[in-house]
Amino acid sequence: MNNKSTLKLGLAQISPVWLNKKKTIKKIKKFITQAGTKKCELIVFGESILPGYPFWLSLTNGSEFNSPVQKEIHAHYIRNSIQIEAGDLDEICEIAKKYNIAVYLGIVERAKDRGGHSLYCSLVYINQKGKIKSIHRKLQPTYEERLTWSTGDGNGLQVHNLKQFCVGGLNCWENWMPLARTALYGLGENLHIAVWPGSEYNTNDITKFIAKESRSFVVSVSGLMNSKDFPKDTPHLNKILKNAPKVLANGGSCVAGPDGEWIIPPVIGKEELIITTIDFNRILEERQNFDVSGHYSRPDVTKLEINRERQSIISITNNSNK
């Protein structure tokens, strides 16, 4: 392997300081620093790690309408979610720039352009210069997630050049959506990032499948969460813990190569920075006999249309203050 064709990856399998924005940012910065000092060129964090996955929904009758319990927890969630326009990610961008490391980070976004009070499960890409280059809002929250997360749009279906690689990413069960994957394939993706709240039952099958389908490297990164990880100041903590299992998310972060075989099989239950180096030439080798958006495609027969418009309830045709 030569340095020009390789990329050193860091998979940050961590638990958040659940629903505590400031303390979780501090922890994320610690892991970026660790990865930076080890000369990683890309670090990936799990889905909604900042400030945490909405585990309470399935534990406290989250679908109960007009429930004071659900309202209070949701308000706490909003207050600790991330508003990018307010500079909530500035410290993370600065440390990425300091260590010349790109970052994929799962956040719960309090989107200013949608009024500032609705939440989106978003995957943010920060480049090695510390610039936010894309914010992908999850297209379709899964099952109970829809009680707290809003549906996203296609604006963040984008890829980014990183050395010789072309990297893109999706949130959790979006990775099972054929057309979402196809959108990234068609944009030239050859390093796929899949972020998850945690558990190897999510990552074990799909990681290898996407690698085999796309002849790309696939990096799945998951979070961790145990019942002891809920902070004492969590609203209605007693109700959450009453039905909570000891382990809510056990990790399962892993890496598959373009041949669909494990480079790093799922790592269970360990909070750590997992490091590996991948070689771009492996992609070229596997694309010899199958290239899903190239020589093995038939765009004259089937073709995908992507709407990248950022959704809004308003359309301003005259931005004048007069």
Q: Look up the pTM and report it.
A: 0.96
> Cβ contacts of residue 11 below 8 Å, gap of 6+?
43, 44, 219, 221, 253, 255, 264, 267, 273, 274, 275, 276
Q: Is residue 308 part of a domain?
A: no
Q: Is residue 29 part of a domain?
A: yes
Q: Quick one: angle between helices 178-186 and 200-214, nearest 10?
A: 40
Over the stretch 56-112, which tens digit does the pLDDT of each residue have?
A: 999 999 999 999 999 999 999 999 999 999 999 999 999 999 999 999 999 999 999
Residue 201 falls inside a structural domain: yes
SS3 at position 146: helix
177 assigned to some structural domain: yes
Q: What is the pLDDT of residues 13-53, one digit of tens each?
A: 999 999 999 999 999 999 999 999 999 999 999 999 999 99
- The DSSP H or E segment spanning 243 is helix 237-243
C-alpha distance from residue 72 to each of 68, 76, 123 (Å): 6, 6, 26
Question: Is 197 within 8 Å of 223 (Cβ atoms)?
Answer: yes
71: domain CATH number? 3.60.110.10
Within-domain flag for 149: yes
d(CA 203, CA 189): 19
Total number of domains constituting the chain? 1
- Mean of pLDDT values over 143-155: 97
305 within domain boundaries? no
* Helix, strand or coil, per DSSP, at residue 213: helix
pLDDT of res. 318: 80
Instruction: Give the Cα separation of 59 and 99 in Å (integer).
Output: 40
Tell me which H or E stretch contains 34. Answer: helix 21-37
In a domain, 315, yes or no: no
Residue 301 within any structural domain of the chain: no
pLDDT digits (tens, 9 = 90+) for 243-300: 999 999 999 999 999 999 999 999 999 999 999 999 999 999 999 999 999 999 999 9
pLDDT band at 126 (very low <50, low <70, confident <90, very high): very high
Going by C-alpha positions, the residue among 102, 116, 166, 111 that lies closest to residue 135 is 111
Domain of 52, in residue numbers:
3-286
